[in-house]
Amino acid sequence: MPKTVGVVGMGYVGLTLTAALARKGYVVHGVDVSPRVVEALSNGRIHVFEPGVEETFAEFLDRSVFISDRLPAEPLDAAILSVSTPVDLSTGEPDLRNLRAAAEHVAERPSTLVVVRSTVPIGASRAIVLPALTARWSRARLVMAPERTIQGQALRELVELPQVIGGLDDDSLRAGIELFDGLVEQIVPVSGLETAEMVKLSNNCHTDLIYAFGNELALIAEQHGLDPLEVIRATNLDYPRPDLAKPGYVGGGCLSKDPYIMLSSTGPERRPYLVGQARALNERLPVHVAERVVELVRQTFGHADGVRLSVLGWAYKGWPATDDMRGTPIADMMPVFRAAGLVVKGHDPLVSDDVIREYGGEPVSLDKAFADADAMIVVNDHPDYRGIEVEARMATCGVRVLFDSWRILDEAAVTRHGVRYAGIGYLAERSGA
């Protein structure tokens, strides 16, 4: 008999897990408190972009995937909590009310294995989820099994990445291993709930940290008029220590909040140093870039008020492609652009016109983004932008400043047309007409 599971929370984590489980033969009851999400998914309309999910729902919806606002009354082999744990950025504190509510909802049903999939502070599975279960059940089986996928490759990584599992006790751990054995290729048992919680936070805080170092190098290179990519390439070439990361924006649903969740896991008198400093640097970068763009516009035109700026890329990243706006750099850039008086036009291959308007931009086609702009910033590295024919575009548009955040365009082709070319921590020498 196929395993029957409930997945509570149909955001990105829960939705992709539901699809991956269905493809492996599980019966999945997906639950969400949002009527809009339930209605959309019940009709096969997927509310987040992730390759393969829409096709999976088209194949399995109402056959082995069922969507509702509540778990079914019949027993389940497991209930998986994948609700959001948002962070209040004004305080740095995570909001665990969704987690508590999900645990209480599961506890209303017959006792089953409960899996915490949400990213939580160290100790939250034991402190928040366990009491909600034991208040209703004589005993609980509980595991923490963190999600560690990258957007754009989630359905593959859910199978191929090692699945870390920490249990409340040996019985819980055995049940967790049995549950995931039909999904993943490798299971990594760890000593307890808290270890598994820290594994997830460690992955993302380390990623934030290595990106922050690349960004710091770019800011240092900028002060000396050096090319940070040249420095990084030469540093990495055939050198056996870990590679340095290229400079770039660091956003998304995980990296923009998980460092705060790690920090909240520690006492105020023993706050770690690197985690918070790395996050602060990465959060500062979009504002710094926006200020540089305004500075270059003023140097070029003598003013910024009324200058038309096209922004290519509104999602937080371009590859793997996503429409996710969580942690997008444009959110911190727009106040700087508005204060300078820039007229902002926006294009993104996946982000809707309504979302671009919501963030303060005027949606335009890629053709119009070039034709109707005086200046341009490429914010993410979507393949559509990597494929831009720079020579042809520059020959027929009026763009005089181009800030290429990820340095994906042909610099020589840009500057040949007298356009000022810059990137993160870099400003090209003037050339051309």
What is the C-alpha R_g of the chain? 24
pLDDT tens-digit map of 360-407: 999 999 999 999 999 999 999 999 999 999 999 999 999 999 999 999
**Residue 182 amino acid letter:** G
Separation of alpha carbons 129 and 100, rounded Å: 6
Tokens 């402190």 correspond to what residue? Answer: 127
Q: Please give the pLDDT value at position 386.
A: 96
Residue 430: band (very low, low, confident or very high) from pLDDT cuts 50, 70, 90: low
Bridge pairing between strands 113-116 and 141-144: parallel
Confidence of residue 267 (pLDDT cuts 50, 70, 90): confident
Place of tokens 């997830």: 200
Helices (H) and strands (E) in the chain, counts: 19, 17
pLDDT digits (tens, 9 = 90+) for 37-82: 999 999 999 998 999 999 999 999 999 999 999 999 999 999 999 9
Closest CA to 339 of 309, 372, 312: 309
Q: Residue 389, exposed/middle/buried by CB under 10 A (0-12, 13-18, 19+)?
A: exposed
Does the structure show a pLDDT above 90 at 101? yes
DSSP conformation class of 144? E
Extended beta strands in 3-140, E state? 4-8, 27-31, 65-68, 78-81, 87-88, 93-94, 113-116
CA torsion sign for 351, 354, 357, 362 is positive
| CA distance from start to end of the chain | 72
pLDDT confidence of residue 368: 97
For residue 171, the model assigns a pLDDT of 98
Closest CA relative to residue 69, chosen from 117, 44, 105, 103? 105
Identify the three-state secondary structure at position 402.
strand
pLDDT (0 to 100) of residue 271: 81
pLDDT of residue 408: 97
* Residues 136-195: tens digit of each pLDDT: 999 999 999 999 999 899 999 999 999 999 999 999 999 999 999 999 999 999 999 999
pLDDT at site 289? 98
| pLDDT for the residue numbered 431 | 56
What's the confidence (pLDDT) of residue 433?
Answer: 47
Nearest-5° angle of CA 119, CA 125, CA 131?
Answer: 145
Rounded to whole angstroms, how far apart are CA atoms 120 and 117? 9
Report the Cα 157 to chain-centroid distance in Å: 15
Least Cα distance to 379 among 399, 408, 352 occurs for 408
| Residue 251 clears pLDDT 80, i.e. is over it | yes
For position 243, what pLDDT does the model report? 92
**Residue 309, pLDDT score:** 98
Q: Which long-range contacts (CB under 8 A, 24 or more apart) does 191-194 make?
A: 191/166, 192/166, 192/167, 192/168, 193/116, 193/125, 193/126, 193/142, 193/143, 193/144, 193/166, 193/167, 193/168, 194/122, 194/123, 194/125, 194/126, 194/144, 194/166
> Helix axis angle, 274-301 relative to 193-224, nearest 10°?
30
> Hey, is 241 helix, strand or coil?
coil
Q: How many CB atoms within 10 Å of residue 344?
A: 21
202-433 adopts what CATH topology?
Rossmann fold (3.40.50)
What tokens were used for 389? 């024919």
Residue given tokens 């920090």 in the structure block: 263
pLDDT of residue 90: 84
Numbered ranges of CATH 3.40.50.720 in the chain: 4-191, 202-433
pLDDT of amino acid 27: 98
Residue 246 DSSP one-character state = P
**What is the residue type of 265?**
S
Q: How many CA atoms does the CB half-sphere of 202 hold within 13 Å?
A: 8
Query: What is the secondary structure of 284-314 as a DSSP string?
Result: HHHHHHHHHHHHHHHHHHS--TT-EEEEE--
300/367 Cα distance (integer angstroms): 23
- Give CATH for domain 4-191: 3.40.50.720
Q: For residue 278, what are its two tokens?
A: 């790395």
The predicted pLDDT at position 272 comes to: 84
Calculate the average pLDDT of the chain: 96
pTM of the entire predicted model: 0.92
Joined tokens for residue 19: 């699809």
Residue 331 has pLDDT above 50, yes or no: yes
pLDDT in tens, 341-354: 999 999 999 999 99
Residue 237 has pLDDT above 60, yes or no: yes
Phi, psi at residue 370, to the nearest 5°? -85, -45
DSSP for 312-332, written as a single string: E--SS-TTTT----TT-THHH
CA–CA separation, 373 and 26 (whole Å) = 51
Give CA–CA dist 9/119, Å, rounded. 13
pLDDT at 18 over 50: yes
- The pLDDT tens digits for 394-411 are 999 999 999 999 999 999
